[in-house]
Amino acid sequence: WDFEKTKTETQTAWNKELNKIQVQMLNEEDKINFYTAMYHAALMPTLYMDVNGEYKGLDQNVHKAKDFVNYTSLSLWDTYRAFHPYLNLMSPERNGDIVKSMLAHYEQSALHMLPIWSHYANDNWCMSGYHSVSVIADAIIKGYDNIDAQQALDACVATARKRSYEGIGNYIDLGYIPADKNGTSVSSTLEYAYDDWCIAQLAKHLKREDIYQEFSKRSPEGDGEHTDESFHSSSA
Helices and strands (H, E) in the chain, number of each type: 10, 7
Question: What is the C-alpha separation between 110 and 168, in angstroms, rounded?
Answer: 18
Question: What is the C-alpha separation between 145 and 142, in angstroms, rounded?
Answer: 9
Question: With contact defined as beta carbons under 8 Å apart, do 168 and 160 qualify?
Answer: yes
pLDDT score recorded for residue 75: 94
| Superfamily for domain range 47-231 | alpha-1,2-mannosidase (1.20.1050.60)
pLDDT score recorded for residue 220: 61
pLDDT score recorded for residue 183: 84
Question: What is the C-alpha separation between 196 and 200, in angstroms, rounded?
Answer: 6
In tens, the pLDDT along 115-126 reads 999 999 999 998
Question: With contact defined as beta carbons under 8 Å apart, do 195 and 133 qualify?
Answer: yes
Cα–Cα distances (Å) from 175 to 139, 168, 193, 200, 223, in that order, read 27, 10, 9, 16, 8
Tally of CA atoms within 13 A in the half-sphere of 122 that contains its CB: 4
pLDDT score recorded for residue 57: 96
| pLDDT tens, residue order, the chain (236 aa) | 899 999 999 999 999 999 999 999 999 999 999 999 999 999 999 999 999 999 999 999 999 999 999 999 999 999 999 999 999 999 999 999 999 999 999 999 999 999 999 999 999 998 899 999 999 999 999 999 899 999 999 999 999 999 999 999 999 999 999 998 888 899 999 999 999 999 999 999 999 999 999 999 987 644 444 444 544 443 43
Q: What values do phi and psi take at 74, rounded to 5?
A: -95, 90
How many residues are listed for the chain in this entry?
236
Question: What is the C-alpha separation between 141 and 161, in angstroms, rounded?
Answer: 22
In tens, the pLDDT along 178-190 reads 998 888 899 999 9
Question: What is the C-alpha separation between 58 and 38, in angstroms, rounded?
Answer: 30
Question: What is the C-alpha separation between 217 and 198, in angstroms, rounded?
Answer: 12
